[in-house]
Amino acid sequence: MSEEKEDEKPEITNENILGETSGDIQRVSLVSTSPSVRSIVRVVLIVLLLLAVRDFLGILLSSLTYLFFMIVLAVFLAYIINPLVDLIQRPFINRSYGRIMSRALAIALAFLLLFSVVGGSVYYLTPRVIEQTKTFVANVPAYTTSVQSTINDLNRRLARMRMSEPVQTEINEKINTFLEDAGTFITTLLGLSAVYALTFLPWLILVPILAFFFLKDAQLFRVGLLRIVPVGDWRTRVDSIISDVNDTLKAYARAQLISCILIGLLCTLGFYLLGNDYALLLGILAGVLELIPLLGPLTIALLAITIGGLESGWQALWTAVFLAALRVAQDYLIYPRIVREGIHLHPLAIILSVLAGEQIAGIPGVFIAIPVVAVMTVLYKHILDHTDSRGLFTGLLEPKENKETTTL
């Protein structure tokens, strides 16, 4: 009997995880008074501490950037595959016996299905992408001749306008500089794509493995994190934060996946209808670069307009009009409907987040900037809800005087 009692393990439920909570959460209301010397000193010390650890954090971030980026990609992949795992496991759930199919098996089947779809797409599209790339490389001499002819024609028109020779020289130098920069940009982009493909090749194995364990043991991670927090109101608050962060990241991952597929398909179709010979290549690049906020769409726009301009001026113009209309529709009509209750950031906040992410961690920082800011926003809202403050630094600048107990 004693051995049977020792073998019995309590079932993990929300009640025994969160523990008993009081009916009302006691809070302290803050009364506005003039900042005390202690509060000002506290703020100064915080600023000095941040300045002191800045260099250390810079070294640490530069060393752990790619490891952190790998974990972020694994979490992103886990959020994408999770609905498919639930769909596979749903028919094998019995009310009497619970889940008949193990979650690990469902995850393995989901990965198998995903790899089959991706592998089939790569097998079908790769020959066509290679063909269009070879065509572009073969047409580079013809494009160079066309550009030189356009410059000569411009010089003749400037001469007819009796424009001075220094002005003509200045205009020609500006045009040549622009063309050289455009050529360098395209070459660098293709070179970086090849380098990153080789650099991140081992990630094709490591990221799915990490995503597998995130999917399999997500509930254990949550329970382990909650057990660190004291039982009671604090644990309830942390559990609410975890749920909100999960909803936010889930909405972001879903929105990014749908946006990439949709933008890739629409760009491929649009470029094809505009007569672009590299519609498939540019469409795939547009779908992939959609993962990078702001910089991705801007890069594909410059690339597509430049290539369109090598064919004709009208194609470049219509390409610019098409991409502008698509971006407006994506940002103001499509994306808000996809993301729903997830991430709602002001455009200025997105721009500043992307710039800060690029300064801190480069390209990986640009990719993870928006979800990081979204998670910080969730935490900020919970801080305000918990302290009933008007701002993040209200409690620092307003000393706690005339304390008054209130309830939610």
Q: How far is CA 5 from the centre of its chain?
A: 49
Structural domain boundaries, residue 289: 236-390
- Name which residue leads in pLDDT, 177 or 302: 302
Query: Is residue 5 a part of any domain in this protein?
Result: no
Q: Is the pLDDT assigned to residue 130 strictly greater than 80?
A: yes
Query: Is residue 68 a part of any domain in this protein?
Result: no
Write the pLDDT tens digit of every residue in 138-152: 877 777 777 777 777
CA atoms in the 13 A half-sphere facing the CB of 246: 14
Q: Quick check: helix, strand or coil at residue 93? A: strand
Query: Is residue 73 a part of any domain in this protein?
Result: no
Confidence of residue 269 (pLDDT cuts 50, 70, 90): very high
Burial profile 233-270: b = 16 or more Cβ within 10 angstroms, e = fewer? bbbbbbbebeebbeebbbbbbbbbbebbebbbebbbeb
Work out the average pLDDT over 386-398. 48
- Name which residue leads in pLDDT, 243 or 101: 243
Taking the model in full, what pTM does it have? 0.68
Domains held by the chain: number: 1
Query: Is residue 291 a part of any domain in this protein?
Result: yes
Q: How far is CA 398 from the centre of its chain?
A: 37
Give percent of the chain above pLDDT 70.
65
The DSSP secondary structure of 186-230, one letter per residue, reads: HHHHHHHHHHHHHHTTTHHHHHHHHHHHHHHTHHHHHHHHHHHSP
Q: What is the pLDDT of residue 359?
A: 75
Work out the average pLDDT over 33-57. 60
Instruction: Identify how many contiguous H helices and E strands the chain contains and give both numbers.
Output: 14, 4
In this structure, are residues 80 and 256 in contact, taking their beta carbons and an 8 Å threshold?
A: no
Q: How far is CA 12 from the centre of its chain?
A: 33
Report the alpha-carbon distance of residue 364 to residue 73 in Å, rounded. 10
In this structure, are residues 150 and 312 in contact, taking their beta carbons and an 8 Å threshold?
A: no
Q: Which residue has the tokens 């209750």?
A: 341
For residue 97, how many other CB atoms are within 10 A of its CB? Answer: 8
The DSSP secondary structure of 307-372, one letter per residue, reads: HHHHH-HHHHHHHHHHHHHHHHHIIIIIHHHHHTTS----HHHHHHHHHHHHHHHHHHHHHHHHHH
Report the alpha-carbon distance of residue 104 to residue 189 in Å, rounded. 39
Provide the mean pLDDT of the chain: 75
Query: Is residue 71 a part of any domain in this protein?
Result: no
In this structure, are residues 357 and 372 in contact, taking their beta carbons and an 8 Å threshold?
A: yes
Q: Is the pLDDT assigned to residue 23 strictly greater than 60?
A: no
- Name which residue leads in pLDDT, 198 or 90: 90
Q: What is the pLDDT of residue 194?
A: 56
Adjacent-strand bridge partners of 98:
94
Q: Is the pLDDT assigned to residue 399 strictly greater than 60?
A: no
In this structure, are residues 305 and 316 in contact, taking their beta carbons and an 8 Å threshold?
A: yes
Report the alpha-carbon distance of residue 290 to residue 261 in Å, rounded. 9
Q: Which residue has the tokens 């498919």?
A: 84
Q: What is the pLDDT of residue 196?
A: 59
Q: Is the pLDDT assigned to residue 407 strictly greater than 50?
A: no
Query: Is residue 283 a part of any domain in this protein?
Result: yes
| DSSP letter assigned to residue 96 | T
